């Protein structure tokens, strides 16, 4: 490891070319009973790659302002979406010679879930034009900048997988919610209906939620409100939700 005749390492100096380093965030929210992703429009300025195309919110790491990758991701979240995300996890990283015309680049991608109530009044902050897209809008040929389509697909896959055995959909809801509302979040993400009775026992016997002394009032029977017993740690179930005849 001491002396490979190549650029990296221990040439006594650090004067070899460095890749560009960025952070991008895939931000999910459920609006109008659809899973949606926040995208921003690439600037049209000269020299900018993929001008005018939609891209994941993100950008270069700022070595002077960002303490760490996660801090950088939270900054992007604030700047682009104007929110503190109740759930943020690392999705992975994508890097290579050809993903950005400006040169070898690597992006660290995070994955956030936010309640639709937290969504800013559209196009806020200092972010460029921003908009929410349903997943169906990408089935066609609509391109995204860079390899962001691939990244977004990976994020959706990860979310769909985790929904089967974790409590992640709870982070798509406000602090207090009913069990029916929680069930609907699961159904929206999984894109299939689940059994009410089984779902309720599953959730209640797991200790995921605790009741608050309030009811959700509506046109019909009032529903018990709950909140997360431990908002910081998602619950992992020991069984997946069974898919019908599959």
DSSP sequence for 37-60: EEEEEPP-STT-SSTT-EE-SEEE
240 lines the binding site for a second copy (CB under 8 A):
yes
Asked if residue 114 lies in contact with residue 174, where contact means CB atoms within 8 angstroms, the answer is: no
Asked if 33 interacts with DNA (CB under 7 A), we say no
**Smallest separation (angstroms) from DNA to the CB of 73:** 32
Tell me whether residue 44 or residue 217 sits nearer to a second copy (CB atom).
44
Residues of this chain, 120-139, that bind a second copy according to CB under 8 A: 126-128
Taking the complex as a whole, how short is the minimal distance between the CB of residue 30 and DNA, in angstroms? 16
CA distance 91 to 244: 29
Q: What angle do CA 163, 165, 167 make, to 5 degrees?
A: 60
Radius of gyration of the CA atoms of the chain, in A = 21
Reduce the DSSP state of residue 124 to 3 states and report it: coil
In the list 223, 230, 232, 234, the residue contacting DNA (rule: CB under 7 A) is 223
232 binds a second copy (CB under 8 A): no
Q: Which residues of 228-237 are buried (b: 16+ CB within 10 A; e: fewer)?
A: beeeeebbee
Q: Which of 190, 25, 30 is nearest to 116 (CA)?
A: 30
The SS3 of residue 237 is coil
Name residue 144's beta-bridge partners. Answer: 54
Among 15, 32, 67, 139, binds a second copy (CB under 8 A): 67
Shortest distance (Å) from residue 177 CB to DNA: 10
Nearer to DNA, 131 or 229 (CB): 229
Binding footprint of a second copy, residue count (CB under 8 A): 54
Residue 151 site contact among a second copy, DNA, none (CB < 5 to 8 Å, cut-off depends on kind): none
244 binds, among DNA, a second copy, none (CB under 5 to 8 A by kind): DNA
User: Residue 220 touches which of a second copy, DNA, none (CB < 5 to 8 A by kind)?
Assistant: DNA
CB of 51 within 8 A of CB of 1? no
Residue ranges binding a second copy (CB under 8 A): 1-2, 4, 6-10, 12, 14, 16-21, 40, 43, 45, 47-48, 59-69, 71, 80, 90, 92-97, 102-104, 106, 108, 126-128, 165, 238-240, 242
């Amino acid at each position: 490891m001491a002396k490979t005749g190549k650029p990296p390492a221990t040439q006594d100096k650090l004067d070899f070319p460095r890749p560009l380093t960025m952070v991008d965030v895939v931000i999910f929210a459920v609006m109008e009973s659809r899973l949606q992703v926040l995208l921003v429009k690439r600037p049209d300025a000269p020299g900018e790659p993929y001008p005018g195309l939609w891209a994941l919110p993100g950008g270069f790491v700022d070595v002077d302002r960002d303490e760490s990758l996660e801090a950088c991701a939270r900054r992007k979240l604030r700047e682009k979406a104007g929110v503190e995300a109740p759930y943020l996890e690392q999705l992975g990283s994508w890097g290579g010679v050809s993903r950005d015309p400006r040169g070898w680049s690597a992006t660290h991608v995070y994955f956030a879930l936010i309640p639709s109530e937290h969504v800013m009044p559209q196009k806020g902050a200092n972010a460029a034009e921003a908009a929410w897209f349903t997943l169906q809008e990408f089935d066609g040929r609509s391109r995204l900048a860079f390899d962001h389509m691939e990244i977004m697909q990976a994020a959706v896959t990860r979310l769909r997988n985790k929904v089967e055995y974790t409590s992640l959909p709870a982070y798509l809801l406000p602090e207090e919610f009913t069990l029916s509302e929680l069930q609907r979040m699961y159904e929206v993400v999984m894109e299939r209906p689940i059994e009410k009775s089984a779902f309720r026992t599953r959730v209640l016997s797991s200790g995921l939620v605790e009741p608050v002394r309030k009811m959700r009032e509506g046109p019909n029977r009032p529903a018990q409100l709950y909140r997360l017993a431990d908002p910081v740690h998602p619950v992992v179930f020991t069984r997946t939700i069974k898919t019908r005849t599959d």
